[in-house]
Amino acid sequence: MDKETILKELQFKAVRSSGPGGQHANKVSSKVELSFDLENSSGLSETEKSRISKKLVSKLTNEGILIFQCDESRSQHKNKDLVIKRFFDVLETALIVKKKRKASKPSKSAIEKRLKSKKANAEKKANRNKPDF
């Protein structure tokens, strides 16, 4: 993943933030919308693209574009920095390859210990019953 190339490919759009806010919110476009064309990116290899598209299938549009929004701050510049940070965090987590699980067997002593505890438990419960005369 080449961050500099990806940063150049990002497209930003400033939009008016939703919700209450009075005169300031009505005249200032502080919300930032980031869009990234995953399919036509030259900053990612083909394997990285396929891995990201599999993991982020719910965040992708039909055209294969990732869209992120941020309106946490009243400053457009802060929102732009926040959305870029969030975008790269999501990309990095999507690129993490999980370790394959190795099947393991419990040791003989562990099996024996488990069976002993089961036997003791069964005996304890059997002693709770009324005795047969």
**pLDDT tens-digit series, residues 60-117:** 888 888 999 998 888 889 999 999 999 999 999 998 988 999 999 999 999 999 999 9
What would the two tokens of residue 23 be?
């005169």
121 part of a folded domain? no
pLDDT in tens, 10-47: 899 888 877 676 777 677 888 899 999 988 888 888 99
> Residue 73 maps to which CATH number?
3.30.160.20
Q: Which of 101, 98, 82, 100 is nearest to 90 (CA)?
A: 82
Domain limits for position 53? 3-94
CA distances from 18 to 21, 31, 80, 102, 112 (A): 9, 8, 17, 49, 64
What would the two tokens of residue 84 be?
């870029």
Indicate the SS3 state at residue 37. Answer: strand
